[in-house]
Amino acid sequence: MSRITIFDTTLRDGAQGEGISFSVEDKVKIARKLDEFGVDYIEGGWPGSNPKDIEFFKHIARVKFKNSKMVSFGCTRRPRHTAESDPLIRNLVESGTPVIALFGKAWDFHVTDALRCPLEQNLDMIHDSVKYLKSLGREVIFDAEHFFDGCKANEEYALKSLQAAADAGADALVLCDTNGGSLPMEVRDITSLVCSRFKTPIGAHIHNDSGMAIANTVTAVRAGAVHVQGTINGYGERCGNANLCAIIPILELKLGHRCLPPGKLEEITEVSRFVDEVANLVPDERQPFVGKCAFAHKAGMHVDAVTKHESTYEHVTPESVGNDRRLLVSELSGGSTVVQKAAKIGIDLTKGSPEVKAALDTVAHLEHNGYSFDGAEASFELLLRKSLGMYRKLFDLKGFRVIIEKRGPEEEPITEATLKICVDGKEAFTVAEGDGPVHALDNALRLALKQFYGKELAKIKLTDFKVRVVNTRAGTAAKVRTVIESMDSEDSWSTVGVSTNIIEASWSALADSVEYGLLRHLPK
C-alpha cells in the first residue's frame, strides 16, 4: 500500500470561493479539526495579502499540531527584487510556518503577457526563491501554476520551470490545472511524462471548471503523483477545487493507498459537515460518500435487495466513511422499507403483513396529495405508529388564529398567534408574537405545552423551515408542502405538512415536530 500525502487548502484556496468568508476564529477551528483528522499539510493563507491572514498566522503559531504541518502560501520573487529583499518573500518567512508553498509561472504565455518579463528571468525567479527559502531550513512545495496548459502550449518551457525548482532543492513539484480545463487523458499523459523526468515527488492541484477535478486528481495519482492538493467539500474559486471528501475515500477504499492515519477515514463525513457548519453553508446532500443522500434508497426493489446484501446497491459501506444508510419511504417503496423502518423503532413486522400493506397504501395516498416522506422520517414514524395502534396522542388542537398586521410602509409586519389546545381534558389558551406565522405558532404552542411538558419541551429546538409549491400550475391556489427540521442534544428530525393554506400546512408539520420530540423524551 503506497502513501499519498494530503495537502488541504480549504483555508486558502477554498476561502476564495463565492459565499465563503472565514473569520480568524473559524480558520483556527478548521485547522484544529483537520489536524485531528490527520491531513499532512494545512495551507493557512497568504501572509501579508490581508490583515486576516496576518492575524491567523499569529494565532496558529501558538497551536501545537499532532499530525499536520502548517503551510504559508505565496509567490516567487518579483522581477525587480532579490529573494532576500522581496517583501512578499519576507512575509512568508516571518509567518513562521515550517512549510512554504511557493507558486511560479509554468506557462510561457503568462510570463510574457502577465508578468511581462523575459522567459529566462522567470526561471531565475523560481530558482532563487526556492533556494533562498531552503537555505533558511524551510520545506518548500513548488506549485507550478497553469502547468497543464503551459505544457500543452510549450512543453519544453513548462518542464524547465519544474527543473528550476528541483535544482534549487524543492521538496515537491505540484502540477496545477489552474484554469480547470484539462481532461483526464491529458492529465495522465503529462503527469506520466513529468514523473519519468524527475526524482522529486510529484503532486497535483486541480480545479473543477470542467467538472473533472476528482477524476483528474485520481488520474494523476494513477500516473505517478504522490501528493494531492484539494479542499474539504470542493470549496474554491469559480467551480471549486478538487474535493478531498471524494478523493480520499477513492484513493483509500478503491485504489489501496494510505492517505490518513488508521481509522480516520470513518471521520470524513463528520469533517465535511463540521466545515460546512463553520462556513455557514448548507451541506450538499448529494455529495458522494459524505452527503445525506449518498446511501439513501427509495425504490422498493433497491431497498429489498440492499437489506439482503448491501453491495447490491452500495459501492462501499456507509460505515467506512462515517455515513448512514437511509431507507426512504414513498409511493415507490416496498414492504421491505416499512419493515426496516419499523425495526429501527423496535416494531417487528413481516413484509407481507396487513399492517405493512395498510401503511404503504396510506403513504401512496398522501404522496398523491402532495406529501413527501423522503426528508420527513419523523412524520412517517408517527404515521406508522397511528396505523399500528401504537400512537400516544399528547395534545388536541381546539383552534388557532394567526394575525399579520402591517402598520406602515417602513414598519416591519407584526405577527400574533392565538392558540387553544387540550391535554388530558385540561385546556390551555395562549397568545404569542413571532417573526412570522410559523415562529408565532411555535411560540404559542410552547407556551401552551409548557405547563404539561416543560422539562421535555426545553430540549427541543426548531432549526429550519422550508416551503415548496406542489402543483405550480394552480398559481396562488396551489398546494404547498412545508418541512420543519428540529433537534435536541442527541439528534435531528424532519416533519411535513401539506395544504392549500400555508399556515395549515405549517401547523401540521409543527405539531408533528413537537409531538415527535416530546415522545423521544417522555417515559415510554
pTM for the model stands at: 0.71
Q: 10-residue block means of pLDDT along the chain (524 residues)? A: 94 94 91 96 90 89 94 94 93 95 95 90 96 97 97 97 98 97 98 98 98 98 98 97 98 97 94 88 89 75 64 84 72 58 68 71 68 71 77 89 87 91 93 91 93 89 82 65 85 86 90 89 78
If asked whether residues 116 and 29 sit together in one domain, one would say: yes
Q: Is residue 145 part of a domain?
A: yes
If asked whether residues 302 and 268 sit together in one domain, one would say: no
Domain boundary residue among 223, 250, 279? Answer: 279
Determine the residue type at 303.
Answer: V
Q: What is the CATH number of the domain that holds 443?
A: 3.30.160.270
pLDDT of residue 464: 83
pLDDT of residue 306: 64
DSSP state of 429: E
Q: How many helices (H) and strands (E) does the chain have?
A: 17, 16
Determine the residue type at 244.
Answer: L
Q: Is residue 387 part of a domain?
A: no
Q: Is residue 131 part of a domain?
A: yes
If asked whether residues 171 and 303 sit together in one domain, one would say: no
Contacts 24+ apart (CB under 8 A), 400-409: 400/441, 400/444, 400/507, 402/437, 402/440, 402/441, 402/503, 404/437
pLDDT of residue 331: 46
Q: How many domains does the chain have?
A: 3
Q: Judge contact between 3 and 260, C-beta under 8 A.
A: no
Q: Which residue has the cell 496548459?
A: 149
Q: Is residue 418 part of a domain?
A: yes
Q: How far apart are CA 87 and CA 363, in angstroms?
A: 67
If asked whether residues 255 and 305 sit together in one domain, one would say: no
If asked whether residues 220 and 332 sit together in one domain, one would say: no
Q: Is residue 378 part of a domain?
A: no
If asked whether residues 102 and 60 sit together in one domain, one would say: yes
Per the structure, the complete domain to which residue 302 belongs is given by: 296-369
Q: Is residue 374 part of a domain?
A: no
Q: What is the CATH number of the domain that holds 92?
A: 3.20.20.70
Q: How far apart are CA 49 and CA 166, in angstroms?
A: 27
